[in-house]
A and B are shown apart, each in its own frame.
Chain A
Amino acid sequence: MSSLRKYVLFVSDLNDKVGRIASFLVIGMIGFLVFEVFMRYLFDSPTVWAHELSAMLYGAYFLLGGGYTLKWNEHIRVDIIYDILPIRAKAILDLVTWLFFYAFCAVLVIEGAQYAWISVRGMERSNSMWEPFIWPSKICIPLGGLLMLLQGFTKTLNDVAIALTGRDLLSQEDKRSASA
């Protein structure tokens, strides 16, 4: 049990860190785009990179933040029926329905890794005027899927624990230390 608990705490902590770091990319996007508008109107010299760079940052932003959002349970769901179920029934239902989640993320990781690998091997560049390397943002696809998968697995472990014992895997102290 304790190693499972360690896994859950480790993954939650990892996603918290990655998500928080990724969340600051939004400052970059705002900064680059405002800079672009200023350069265009005040100095009449638009940049070639501002839009593309911010779009690349955005790709990394939402892909890497997926696991973090899952950790905070903020992926929206329809809970009309779900909410009235007893806690054990919820866990058992989730064990079945979350197979969809695993299929989705597994494809993202496996296919995304091949796709990213081709891009890294060829040192692929974007076909725009600026021509940046495009592989760093392609790597984010399998990476984001993996973070999501790891976080989703902590939920499944917890669901198994609830289905078997009727209690959460983590004690209250664990949760408090995880959210700190």
Chain B
Amino acid sequence: MSIEALAVLMFVSMMFMLATGLPIAFVLGGLGLFFGFFAWGSNCVHVLIAHASDLMRANLLLACPLFIFMAYTLERSGIAEDLYDMMYRWMGSLRGGLAIGTVVGCTIVAAMSGISTTGVLMMGIVGLPSMLRRKYDKKLAMGCIMAGGALGPLIPPSLIMIIYSLIAGQSVGKLFLGGVFPGLLLSALFIFYIVTRCYLNPNLGPPLPPEERVGWWEKIIILKNIIIPFLLVLGVLGSISFGVATPTEAAAIGAFGAVLSAGLHRKLNWSIMREVIFKTIRTVCMVMWIIFGAGVSRPSSKG
């Protein structure tokens, strides 16, 4: 059988196996072995082991657990309340202001975290009840949180870009840089959409009643809430873009910073840390075993 036919057959059977509900990692790994066996005979099993030991030496992948740990720590660190509090005071008086604030908050969170669930959870838990209490439209409130969460993998740091850079052999710094503008553009478009919708129909996002608005002095004071997120973004993205640290080291600094900021908010206790640590390994293993499986099928699909 020719290489092309083999590749097509492999792709079709991958789609079929994925549809059966076998975990993706084992679909990729199993198919890779199967086709490798078919193409090269029993020698193909060495590929698996060689790939395992390659993965164990890939320093860039080390950034995965660190960024995931950082994201899960941020979720529990109390930064979400701080950010939302600030957005509430600054934007509350506008039509749809809380929704705009949520998108801005998600954008800031996206610059600290590499996965999308962080933004959704952080802004969702504080933002959604508050918006619904102010009689915001349910669809608008949910929509701005979900859309904001999608910025997570786009605005650097981004877990998916790290994995992609390793598999495709691209520079992770360039990929990160490439995500900044589209991410900010999307964020601006979301805000534009919310403003337009709420301008046309004020019932979607009513402004805060005048007695709940705050003066300029309080608006300026609350700006202190952005100091910690700013330092975290600077620590991670700054040290990558100024060449101070490798992405892996930057991830470690970010994870350390997230723990520190949880400590500053007095949210650092044993049960939270335990939960974060256990959740981290499950997510990391889910990702890594897929990469593992994909690595086995990659050489066989190249023929």
Contact = CB atoms under 8 A, between A and B. Distances in A.
> Are A and B bound to each other?
yes
Interface of A: 19-20, 22-24, 26-27, 29-30, 33-34, 36-37, 41, 51, 54-56, 58-59, 61-63, 65-66, 68-69, 72, 74-83, 90, 93-94, 97-101, 103-104, 107-108, 110-112, 115, 137-138, 140-141
Interface stretch (B163-171, B196-204, B246-254): B246-254
Given A33-B249, A78-B21, A81-B20, A26 B30 contact: no
Nearest to B57: A55
Nearest to B48: A107
- Indicate the member of B24, B25, B285 with the most A CB atoms within 10 Å: B285
B10 to A, nearest CB: 13
Contacts, number: 173
Given A33-B248, A61-B65, A104 B26 contact: yes
Contacts of B55: 59
Contacts of B277: 23-24, 26-27
A66 B289 contact: yes
A107 B25 CA distance: 15
A29 B59 CA distance: 11
B280 interface: yes
A97 B57 contact: no
A27 B270 CA distance: 13
A139 to B, nearest CB: 12
A29 B66 contact: yes
Interface in B29-81: 29-31, 33-34, 45-46, 48-49, 52-53, 55-59, 61-62, 65-66, 69
A120 B286 CA distance: 29
B282 A103 contact: no
A94 B23 CA distance: 10
A61 B62 CA distance: 10
A100 B19 contact: no
15 contacts: A23-B280, A26-B280, A33-B248, A69-B281, A69-B286, A74-B283, A78-B18, A80-B19, A81-B21, A97-B20, A101-B26, A104-B48, A107-B33, A137-B56, A141-B52
B227 interface: no
A58 B57 CA distance: 9
Contacts of B31: 100
